[in-house]
Amino acid sequence: MEKKFTSDEIPLAQLLDQVRTGKVQLPDFQRGWVWDDGHIASLLASISTSYPIGAVMTLQTGNPDVRFRPRPLEGAKPDPSVEPEFLLLDGQQRMTSLYLALSSGGAVPTQDARGNNLRQRYYADINACLDPFKEREDAVFGVPEDGIVRTFRGEVLIDVSSRDAEVTSEMFPLDIVLDYSETMSWQLKYIQYGPGEHNARVERWKAFTENVINAFVHYQVPAIQLVRSTPKEAVCQVFEKVNTGGVTLTVFELLTATYAADDYHLREDWNGRANRFAKHPVLGLFQATDFLQTITLLSTYERRQRQLAVKPGDDKAPPVSCKRRDILRLELTEYRKWADTVSDALERVVSFLHGEHVFHARDLPYSTQLVPLTALFVLLGEDAEKHHNRQRLRQWYWCGVFGEMYGGSTETRFAYDLVDVAAWIADDGSEPRTVREAQFQAERLLTLRTRNSAAYKGLYALQMKRGARDFHTGDTINMQSYLSDSIDIRHLFPQRWCSANEISDSIANSIVNKTAIDARTNRRIGNSAPSRYLSRIESVHGIETGELDAILHSHDVDPITLRNDDFAGFFNHRFERLIKQIEESMGKPVNRSADRSESPFVDRDKEPEQLRSHVKSLIAAEESKVVEFKATARRNLHTGEKDPANEWKIVKSIAGFMNAHGGNLLVGVTDEGSVIGVDEDFQFVSGGDRDGWELWLTDLIASALGSTAAAEMTVKFCDIDDHVVSKIEVGPSAKPIFATPQKGEKKPCFFVRINNSTRELLGQEILDYQQRRWPS
């Protein structure tokens, strides 16, 4: 096996001379020199006692596959034509400090502990160095460039402004310690003119030479040399393992240095693109490394496809990957090929996210998911805008969010998502693994409390996407109102109220008790009970009760339980509505317990009476924007026969609610509020009972409005005055819902709930309404 490195010891003087001549330089990915005065003095003190200062690591140059633009260490000025023999990977701070202090011939530009700029020269106090009771770090220190150390009053403490002054003060200048000629000259002057008796000076100098000067002259620096054949990715990995300077190397910096060898300025290119992306708040967390990962995904995907085109089914075809080693192998030609295409696709991704009502980076569930999403937009091109393809992209995206699939190591998922989703959308692949494997546990809703969770942010976005309305203006929340009205995730039952009513913080802070609320409305809410702040909002904003109820319904909030300060009833209801949202977005059911009792307030014994009371309250409040009564769903009250016209009325009502704010349809209640029940409908359904009636209704809505609309319904039954009433609840839809008659022309119709009636819109009315209701 080829040896990857050699280790040896190099004399300090030789190493610094290699720095001076340019034989040792830095790869351009190394950051600037940052050590302060205290660190430098401490380093010099360690060498003066022959203490170890750690090894340096170099890379032998000459590998055509590992080309970095070199630059000299700070202070070194080699001939520009000199090509380095070694690149310094680890030890930059130490070697730069030593070169500047010992070999540069000038003052060292550094800083004090407070960050103030200094220019220092470093000295060893001869007497202090020889004093066995003094710490060496107290004997080696920096002095201002002019050689004068003063008190804050301006009094001179130390004067080493000339050679004579140095000798008189017995302060040896360390910038000549490796220069034999200069050291001998200083020695002669010291022995001849230094303070004290001649013999004593000679003895002091001999001791100082032996204990301090010789330590510098004979100091050996441990050196590890990576051989010329070391691959680029190994250089990156080794650097991260051994570099202890506190500055992490990224693949972007390594590629920057690599491309610089071909006179391509990657950082300048990225800065230009970053300025373009900065116009979009949702891209605030998208970094240079993410950009490189996206390009690498596409590049490796193209390589694989090219190989499979020549040799279908080749199990040795190169894999799709964007791990560190793959990015480091990215050729400049590949970067140039994909960079503009990826930049354009990323802006189309912004439009996609805005369509999902993700407007800002802080609300982006996973910034990492931008990488495969952007790559998919590149591969799909204009096909990404097709309705069927967009629906599958959405399903994959939300499965990633609610399955919480992008929280750990993600490079492998990036790769198979790109392959799986691209094939799935092309209709020649099965469901992507992310869609297939994604699971959401219903009880997870109880632990979603902060933006630290992707699912928490995802539900916030979905609520707005479904048509949540601004409490202040009443308009559907869009990007403009989101930003201008300072909309954020805020409590419906205030925290202080919850605490006073013995609602635990964990439940009070759950996403179930939060929705998108503007800052002004939140101030109106304060710490009040809902019954009080809702009245305050109606009074201050001049909003009618029915209109505010419609706004609440657009947030999937039940107005009755909220107005009654019924936290348990409110929580149970909204818990189920949020489950519906997640199921719709993922295209699959969430995982639930057998009795569906994940909400802590569920009481199966009390549920029938609670439902009956709730329905009676709806009937008492009469029909409104969010409540409608229908006497029957199938049976004609006059003829006693099954009537398709009644079925169509049910379809219209549900479609109207979904296209507006959501709402409750009570079947078995006349327009006047009299309960007559749906009992007589049972004779027209399979099984002749409630289950058969619900199954018929589900089939009817799936056929007329689509399976998504059918899944959105929550159907319940209660007994009132010996009659069965059906309560059908739907939330606001995230997209326009068209109703298709089962007979006749079968022309899709668009219905909207307006005030307390359902209207069909036509032509331009539909376009105008959709623009207001689902703003892009």
pLDDT at position 776 is: 65
Identify the H or E element spanning 712.
Answer: helix 707-712
User: Mean pLDDT, the chain, as a whole number?
Assistant: 91
Q: What is the pLDDT of residues 594-651, one digit of tens each?
A: 888 889 999 888 999 999 999 999 999 999 999 999 999 999 999 999 999 999 999 9
Tokens of 335: 């970067």
Residue 590: half-sphere exposure toward Cβ, Cα within 13 Å: 24
For the stretch 702-725, pLDDT in tens is: 999 999 899 989 999 999 999 999
H or E element in which residue 611 lies: helix 607-621
The confidence score (pLDDT) of residue 478 equals: 85
Asked if 208 and 129 touch (Cβ cutoff 8 Å), the reply is: yes
pLDDT tops 90 at residue 551: yes
Is a pLDDT exceeding 50 seen at residue 475?
yes
Q: Count CB neighbours of 693 within 10 A.
A: 25
pLDDT at 243: 56
The rounded distance, in Å, linking the Cα atoms of 176 and 167 is 14
pLDDT of residue 259 exceeding 90:
no
Would you state the pLDDT for residue 23?
96
Check if the beta carbon of residue 212 is closer than 8 Å to that of residue 59.
no
Q: Which whole-number Å values give the CA distances from 46 to 219, 438, 496, 689, in the listed order?
A: 11, 57, 59, 91
β strands within 202-311, DSSP E: 220-226
Asked if the model's pLDDT at residue 238 lies above 80, the reply is no
**In which element (H, E) is residue 716 found?**
strand 714-720
* DSSP H helices in 278-430: 288-310, 324-328, 332-355, 370-380, 387-402, 411-425
| Every domain of the chain and the residues it spans | 5-107+220-259, 109-204, 266-438, 443-586, 607-773
Instruction: Indicate the SS3 state at residue 474.
Output: coil
Question: pLDDT digit string (tens) for 279-288?
Answer: 999 999 999 9
Q: Specify the higher pLDDT residue, 252 or 100.
A: 100
Sign of CA dihedral 539, 541, 546, 548: negative
Q: Give the count of beta carbons closer than 10 Å to the beta carbon of residue 432.
A: 25
Stretch 89-108: mean pLDDT: 93
Name the token pair of 594: 């057998």
According to the model, what pLDDT value does residue 556 have?
Answer: 94
**CA 658 – CA 461 distance, rounded (Å):** 18
Work out the average pLDDT over 297-317.
90
pLDDT at position 246 is 47
Query: In the prediction, which pLDDT does 6 show?
Result: 85
pTM: 0.77
In the structure, what pLDDT confidence band is assigned to residue 249 with cuts at 50, 70 and 90?
low
Average pLDDT over residues 578-592: 94
φ, ψ dihedrals at 632, nearest 5°? -155, 160
Q: For the chain, what is the total number of helices (H) and then of strands (E)?
A: 33, 20
Model pLDDT, residue 2:
62
pLDDT for res 7: 86
- Has residue 470 got a pLDDT over 50? yes
Backbone angles phi, psi at 15, to 5 degrees: -65, -45
Overall average pLDDT of the 167-175 stretch: 96
Report percent pLDDT > 70 for the chain: 97
Confidence of residue 30 (pLDDT cuts 50, 70, 90): low
245 has a pLDDT exceeding 60: no
CATH class of residue range 607-773:
alpha beta
Q: Which of 248-257, 442-451, 456-465, 531-540 is the least confident region?
A: 248-257
Nearest-angstrom CA–CA distance, 576 and 571: 9
Q: Report, in angstroms and rounded to the nearest whole number, the Rg of the chain calculated over CA atoms.
A: 38
Give me the mean pLDDT over the 146-165 stretch: 90
pLDDT of residue 319: 92
Would you state the structure tokens that stand for residue 657, as one six-digit string? 């609610």
